[in-house]
Amino acid sequence: MDLSGALEIVRLSDVGCHREHNEDAIASDIEIGLLVLADGMGGYKAGEVASEITILTMLAELKEALSDFDPGQVDPVTGMQAESLLLAEAAAKANASVYSVSESQPQCAGMGTTLVVALFTNNKVLVGHIGDSRLYRMRRGQLEQLTEDHSLIQEQVSSGLITREQAKTSNNKNLVTRAVGVDSEVELELHEYDAEVGDIYLLCSDGLTDLVDDDDIQATLTALGSNLQLAAKQLIQKANDNGGKDNISVILAKVLKPFAAEKSWYDNFLNWLK
């Protein structure tokens, strides 16, 4: 399924004001409707290695898996689109690759990365994430966070130990509880949402969300939603204006038209029999 005419995608990454190199990695493939973002962590340049391995693995694995895949299938166990299993398998291979390099290369010991991925298929968006990089949806003027951070601070908020306002100034802000490559296995949290024409989806690293609050993100997308390139630049500029203490990465995708999966001849034949 070629989604070139159904989606508009813009991606942008910036080193920020204080870092010497960029440990974020971002990529997209509009033909298969794939968006991927990773925010690396580790020793000198090791985070950069982890995020790059993860992005390249996700792209390669999903490009190959979807090349002869019949979209529109539903997994009988989960009830989700069958492509969700492909996302989980690709993430598992990325984790194995990063973990292997971390174990075998002393300079990369302990490295890891967050991951957030979106796959558009059959008028749906499949969302997977590990760590605290996020995915938001802007629909009819309202911004909604679709992922929940795998972080110590989120666990404290969820359990009622601290408020969201207290979380903004907590010293535990960047401690993730799940990351790619840190352990031999990691679970990709998966969710599925219906996509609508006009939706704008934002994937971002915490270099944005730590410094730009949701109200400002919503205001930016409301004002500049018709110009995604300018919207991406403005979001990064806001983060830098507020200190730019980390790398800042954003991917924006707007749904331009429906992208229902075409039924195969076998599906049409079964419908005819009915």
Position 263 confidence tier, pLDDT thresholds 50, 70, 90: low
Is residue 1 in some structural domain?
no
Is residue 81 in some structural domain?
yes
Position 265 confidence tier, pLDDT thresholds 50, 70, 90: very low
The count of domains in the chain is 1
Mean pLDDT of 220-237: 98
CATH assignment of the domain containing 61: 3.60.40.10
Q: Over the stretch 122-156, which tens digit does the pLDDT of each residue have?
A: 999 999 999 999 999 999 999 999 999 999 998 88
Specify the higher pLDDT residue, 71 or 37.
37
Alpha-helical (H) ranges within the chain are 46-67, 83-104, 152-158, 164-167, 206-209, 214-224, 228-241, 265-273
Is residue 197 in some structural domain?
yes
10 Å CB burial of residue 124 (0-12, 13-18, 19+) is: buried
Least confident of 172-176, 185-189, 234-238: 172-176
Is residue 226 in some structural domain?
yes
Question: pTM above the 0.75 mark?
Answer: yes
Is residue 223 in some structural domain?
yes
| Coil/strand/helix, residue 165 | helix
Query: Cα dist. 185→85, 101, 106, 114 in Å?
Result: 16, 14, 20, 14
Position 37 confidence tier, pLDDT thresholds 50, 70, 90: very high
Question: How far apart, in whole angstroms, are the C-alpha atoms of residue 267 and residue 274?
Answer: 11
Mean pLDDT of 215-244: 98
Is residue 2 in some structural domain?
no
Query: Cα dist. 176→113, 127, 148, 179 in Å?
Result: 10, 19, 12, 7
Least confident of 65-74, 143-152, 227-236: 65-74
Query: Cα dist. 240→63, 66, 212 in Å?
Result: 34, 37, 9
**Residue 146: domain span:** 7-273
Q: Is the pLDDT of residue 17 over 50?
A: yes
